[in-house]
């Protein structure tokens, strides 16, 4: 079915409308794999509750040929189940290296069968299909958007056949021509003649170009950050208009920010908890004299997401800094497990959002 141009333009305008209103019930979460290493997650869940987060996204490794969890992965999933028994909702992201990507029919059957096996045994209802599929670090360029569309379609069918309330989530990165990739997925979807959706939620990781960049920054390049939401929504609306695939809009927050984060510099007093040398030239300073710090960046990013009506969730990467300075230091805890100043800022901002104590007028 093809819609008249005037109708398509109306859909685009609706989806891209300004952020003068708040997203209905923004979910705020943390990307954190800590539970995989703990026999008992009680203390970890206590931290999540203190922060007030709605969900934790946990990454589960996968490689070609697996239709059932290995012993190690089974242990990870058992610990996730213990966390959920304590009342902590979990979003699972299952992926691996690009050479393990399920790019053919057999691989797709194995991967989606693995997800169905897990979803049948754990009360997990939100699953991210692979990770940053436009990023060659995770998904091979050779199969591209067409291969990812085929994977989404197969998993959507398998998982919804198992459970009607499951939500299938895609994943794209801010870089690597996200708009071109999303448009390619839409073209492949149309070419397939499919009459069912392929996702329930579009996931995107809107990292800025560097940690000191304002979350609302609009880019002239192919980077798609939080400030470029209108471009992403326009691409989705144009790509899927007139199909069975719903797209995000003001009354339908089907876009989730699955990862975002701002790295902070490590003070001398904490340096012994880290290894190597800092590789981020824009890592944010700390202390009361800093004009811009991690807390301010997180506050602004959360408020912006709250004021973007098509956005349904924001996940901070991560809870605790990575030990190696060549990795990510965007956590709310230092590597030694003590709280950063941004911990309290994040917590206070969530209270503001829950109380709707945010004026979205002028937020863009």
CATH number of the domain that 262 lies in?
A: 3.20.20.80
- The per-residue b/e assignment along 285-310, b for 16 or more CB within 10 angstroms, e otherwise, is ebeeeeeebbbbbbbbbbbbbbbbbb
Q: Which domain holds residue 232?
A: 5-354
Helical ranges in 53-104 per DSSP H:
71-85
Separation of CA 212 from chain center: 20
The DSSP line for 100-115 is G---SHHHHHHHHHHH
Q: What is the pLDDT of residue 139?
A: 98
The reply to whether 361 falls in a domain is no
The reply to whether 258 falls in a domain is yes
Categorize the per-residue pLDDT at 289 as very low, low, confident or very high, splitting at 50, 70 and 90.
Answer: low
C-alpha distances in angstroms, 120 versus 96, 156, 201? 21, 14, 20
Q: Is 71 exposed, middle or buried (0-12, 13-18, 19+ CB in 10 A)?
A: exposed
In the chain, the number of structural domains is 1
| E strand intervals along 1-97 | 27-31, 55-61, 90-95
What pLDDT digit, counting tens, does each position of 115-132 carry?
Answer: 999 999 999 999 999 999
The reply to whether 38 falls in a domain is yes
The reply to whether 93 falls in a domain is yes
Q: How far apart are CA 250 and CA 20, in angstroms?
A: 10
Q: What is the pLDDT of residue 23?
A: 55
What pLDDT digit, counting tens, does each position of 185-212 carry?
Answer: 999 999 999 999 999 999 999 999 999 9
pLDDT at position 12 over 50: no
Q: How many CA atoms lie within 13 A of 260 on its CB side?
A: 33
Sign of CA pseudo-dihedral 103, 108, 110, 111: positive
The answer for residues whose C-beta is within 8 angstroms of residue 141's C-beta and 6 or more apart is: none
3-state secondary structure of 15: helix
Average pLDDT over residues 125-154: 97
C-alpha distances in angstroms, 142 versus 30, 139, 169, 186? 32, 9, 22, 18
The reply to whether 364 falls in a domain is no
3-state secondary structure of 6: helix
What pLDDT digit, counting tens, does each position of 15-58 carry?
Answer: 444 434 555 589 999 999 999 999 999 999 999 999 999 999 99
The reply to whether 359 falls in a domain is no
Q: Which residue, chain included where needed, has tokens 């705020």? A: 28
Q: Give ∠ CA 350-129-307 in degrees, rounded to 5.
A: 30
The DSSP line for 139-202 is S-TTTHHHHHHHHHHHHHHHHHHH-TT-EEE--EESSS-HHHHHHHHHHHHHHHT--S-S-SBE
């Amino acid at each position: 079915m093809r819609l008249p141009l005037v109708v398509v333009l109306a859909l685009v305008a609706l989806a891209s409308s300004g952020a003068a209103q708040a997203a209905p019930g923004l979910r705020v979460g943390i990307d954190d794999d800590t539970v995989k290493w703990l026999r008992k997650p009680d203390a970890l869940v206590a931290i999540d509750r203190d922060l007030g987060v709605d969900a934790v996204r946990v990454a589960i490794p996968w490689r070609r040929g697996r239709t059932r969890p290995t012993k190690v992965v089974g242990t990870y999933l058992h610990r996730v189940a213990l966390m959920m028994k304590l009342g902590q909702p979990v979003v699972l992201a299952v992926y691996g290296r690009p050479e393990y990507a399920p790019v053919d029919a057999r691989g797709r059957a194995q991967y989606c069968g693995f997800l169905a096996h897990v979803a049948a045994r754990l009360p997990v209802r939100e699953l991210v299909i692979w990770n940053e599929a436009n990023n060659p670090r995770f998904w091979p360029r050779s199969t591209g958007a067409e291969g990812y569309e085929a994977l989404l379609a197969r998993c959507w069918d398998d998982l919804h056949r198992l459970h009607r309330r499951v939500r299938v989530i895609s994943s794209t990165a801010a870089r690597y021509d996200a708009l071109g990739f999303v448009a390619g997925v839409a073209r492949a979807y149309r070419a397939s003649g499919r009459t069912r959706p392929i996702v329930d939620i579009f996931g995107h990781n809107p990292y800025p170009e560097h940690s000191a960049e304002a979350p609302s920054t609009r880019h002239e390049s192919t980077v798609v950050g939080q400030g470029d939401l209108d471009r992403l929504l326009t691409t989705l609306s144009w790509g899927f208009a007139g199909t069975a695939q719903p797209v995000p809009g003001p009354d339908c927050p089907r876009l989730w920010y699955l990862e975002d984060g701002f790295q902070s510099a490590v003070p001398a007093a904490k340096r012994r908890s880290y290894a190597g040398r800092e590789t981020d030239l824009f890592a944010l300073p700390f202390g009361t004299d800093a004009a811009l710090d991690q807390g301010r960046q997180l506050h602004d990013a959360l408020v912006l997401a709250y004021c973007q009506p098509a956005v349904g969730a924001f996940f901070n990467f991560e809870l605790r800094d990575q030990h190696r300075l060549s990795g990510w230091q965007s956590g709310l805890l230092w590597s030694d497990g003590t709280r950063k100043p941004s911990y309290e800022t994040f917590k206070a901002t969530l209270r503001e959002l829950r109380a709707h104590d945010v004026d979205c007028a002028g937020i863009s």
